[in-house]
Structure 1
């Protein structure tokens, strides 16, 4: 499948260089009674309307500099209830105040949810005796069988890009909000694209033909877990 991903708008992605690092547990911090930090919220799907129960979440303190060695410390763990609610309580050590940052890490079934391996809630540095509210929406996955007609007629200087976007619901963070794909005359005509299911997907088609740029927008709605066909006439033969 020959297409190039121009950009993938992802919030809360953290790259860890752990070859020379160590990971340790500090789950005893969950037993704190004073100066505790709490993180409460929901893990939801379908535009923030459907809870995802029994998701395991772990708060980690990360003190690994870029391309360096350091420590990852597991601070607290819990699971979402039947309504998607979670509550994490832990004590922040002195060295955790001075350096590093915190994140919530979890995994979901990547066959059902969109880019689940990227779902990390990054919260950076937080203080003791603080309550933080985080609501997170995870889009379910659907597929678009995208056909591009007359793509081989694309000339030097011409351009074609498809922008798939799906907004975060109000009051929720969301790591994946769409992707822009650039196409060339060497791209395959038929391509299977992963998009968000059960939510409106805004498809923007951008063309540049003979120096003239145009753009059109269409809203799609794909049921999660299904595959739908969509055809774009690139117009490069006109």
Structure 2
């Protein structure tokens, strides 16, 4: 019994991850800068996005490791975030044991107004965040600009859905500008990454179904129609510009 208790104690010790919260520390010299911006349509800043910088050292096969919470802040009225912080000697350079991670939390924003990380229906698979595997010099600026589109909806009619065998489906998915600034995105002719919705959410459930997938307002969107018919998968992409106050209604046949 004592051996079992000791083993459980060891597993608990190694399985726990140590967390140090240094977010209240003030950097007075040799500072590194966390800086960026959140914007929406027409380069309008978004207020209230939470930003957290961590330094993470992974544990072994049994877990463990450590996390240092370094800096936290929020975007201001113009969508900007800015925070200076101090990198420890043990965290500096390519030989350091861990990596830096910037996490963005948009849950305080209006999910009916913007396309967010969690849209409560559908999904956005492009995460908001950035891993930085080494910082070699303290006189460095890290961060990025991120785009959260204005959310709009279109009507999509999926007609004549008659599944032939089990597993057949008929669904609409959407792609739109979303997330980090990457300079050039040929898929959507944008300077931001691509967000995704659908994948089992906006599916035909009867012979004729009308669905309302969300899309990015005043942007080029890709409307993807995916079918599995008699076990054979096909995909069609349609590029659609969605203006403000749109009344778009699209119809596709199974």
Q: TM-score, normalised by structure 2?
A: 0.64
Q: How many residues align?
A: 211
Distance 1:68 1:132 in 2: 28
| Residue from 63, 69, 84 that aligns with 1:68 | 63
- Give the direction of change, closer, same or farther, for the CA distance of 1:230–1:67 in structure 2 (3 Å limit): farther
Distance 1:136 1:49 in 2: 10
Distance 2:235 2:152 in 1: 28
The answer as to whether partners of 1:159 and 1:184 remain within 8 angstroms in 2 is: no
Aligned to 2:33: 38
Structure 2: give runs of 5+ residues left out of the alignment: 1-14, 119-123, 184-190
The answer as to whether partners of 2:177 and 2:216 remain within 8 angstroms in 1 is: no
Aligned to 2:53: 59
Deviation of residue 103 (structure 1)? Answer: 2.1
Deviation of residue 86 (structure 1)? Answer: 1.8
Deviation of residue 75 (structure 1)? Answer: 0.7
- Give the direction of change, closer, same or farther, for the CA distance of 1:154–1:185 in structure 2 (3 Å limit): farther
Deviation of residue 83 (structure 1)? Answer: 2.1
State the superposition RMSD in angstroms: 3.8
Aligned to 1:13: none
- Give the direction of change, closer, same or farther, for the CA distance of 1:196–1:70 in structure 2 (3 Å limit): farther
The answer as to whether partners of 2:171 and 2:203 remain within 8 angstroms in 1 is: no
Aligned to 1:165: 175
Distance 1:213 1:194 in 2: 22
Aligned to 2:116: 115
| Residue from 195, 215, 222 that aligns with 1:195 | 215
Q: Per-residue displacement from partner, 1:88-138 (whole Å, max 9, x unpaired)?
A: 221122343422222222322252332334753213223131223511112
Distance 2:168 2:233 in 1: 9
> 2:173 aligned with 1:179, yes or no?
no
> 2:217 aligned with 1:219, yes or no?
no
Distance 1:95 1:191 in 2: 53
Distance 1:54 1:136 in 2: 13
Aligned to 1:16: none
Deviation of residue 192 (structure 1)? Answer: 4.0
The answer as to whether partners of 2:54 and 2:102 remain within 8 angstroms in 1 is: yes
| Residue from 41, 58, 73 that aligns with 1:78 | 73
Structure 1: give runs of 5+ residues left out of the alignment: 1-18
Q: Per-residue displacement from partner, 1:44-101 (whole Å, max 9, x unpaired)?
A: 112x611112433221222345983332221112232332222222112234342222
Aligned to 2:149: 139
| Residue from 220, 230, 238 that aligns with 2:249 | 230
SS in 2 for 1:154: coil
Deviation of residue 216 (structure 1)? Answer: 5.0
